[in-house]
Amino acid sequence: MLALMAAGGVVFPGLFVLSRLGLRFLMGWSEADATIVSVRHWLTEAYVSFAAPYFVYDMYAMFLCHCHQRRQQGDTHVAAFVRREMLMVLHHAFMVLFCLPASLVWRRGKGDYFQGVLLLAELSTPFVSLAKVLMQLEKEHTLLYKVNGVLTLLVFFACRVALFPYLYLAYSRYASMSVHQAVLEAPWQCNVGAALLWPLQVYWMALMCRRAFRLLTGRSHTKVKKTP
């Protein structure tokens, strides 16, 4: 599973970088034209369709884990699970009910740049997953866990927190307009998605920073909630 996640994190950005460099230096295209064409790849929408069932499966798998963990307390019903994992349930439901139709239907071919760059968020997944595996194996005091922790914070911040402001900043520079105008010109689906997803990324980033601080100071070993 980790190998597949890592492969996905390399394939999509790699295709973008290779296409962009190839069009610029081999074909002599301008940076703007090379960038725009490089994000228009069939894998962009194919990946969205392929990944959508994951969020449905993951909610069911999380519910099964919840049932096994809370069996002794008797909290094995759906309502208890939703209360405990409210943010994750809302995140997964939003990805399926809004992001899927927004990416494949509502945007009507617009917003390729936004959708392509947002896929970079998956670069943080292998690091977050490895941290979770090491926690379950009680390897939290190993060098691997500490190095992965630093990389997780850096990659998560770059690919999930700073990514959203960067989208509008880069688009404003490309279109020679202010960031405020870029927000107004962007497809409404992109604005709604960013407005709802970005606060979650900031919240999870804060949780990871708090855990890192506690590990460094030796104050606590409480587990961090799962991040997508």
Question: What is the pLDDT, as a whole number, of residue 80?
Answer: 85
| Cβ-proximal residues to 184 (8 Å cutoff; 6+ apart), any chain | none
What pLDDT shows up at residue 111?
67
- pLDDT score recorded for residue 222: 47
One pLDDT digit (tens) per residue for the chain, 228 residues: 566 667 766 776 777 777 778 777 877 778 777 776 666 666 667 777 787 888 888 888 888 888 887 777 767 788 888 888 888 888 888 888 887 887 778 777 766 777 777 777 888 888 888 888 888 888 888 889 889 989 999 999 998 899 889 888 888 888 889 988 988 888 777 788 788 888 888 998 998 898 888 877 766 544 455 566
Q: Which residues of 22-37 are buried (b: 16+ CB within 10 A; e: fewer)?
A: ebbeeeebeeeebbbe
Domain ranges of the chain: 1-38, 125-228
Q: Which of 168, 164, 163, 196 is nearest to 182 (CA)?
A: 168
In this structure, how many other beta carbons lie within 10 angstroms of the beta carbon of residue 38?
Answer: 22
Residue 84's alpha-carbon distances to 81, 90, 144, 205, in angstroms, are 5, 12, 30, 19
pLDDT of residue 2: 61
Which amino acid, residue 222?
T
CB 28 within 8 A of CB 21: no
Q: What angle do CA 145, 147, 150 make, to 5 degrees?
A: 105
Q: What angle do CA 193, 178, 17 make, to 5 degrees?
A: 65
The whole-number pLDDT of residue 4 equals 62
Contacts for 14-22: CB closer than 8 Å, 24+ residues apart: 15/41, 15/43, 16/41, 16/116
Q: What is the distance between the alpha carbons of residues 19 and 36, in angstroms, rounded to a whole number? A: 10
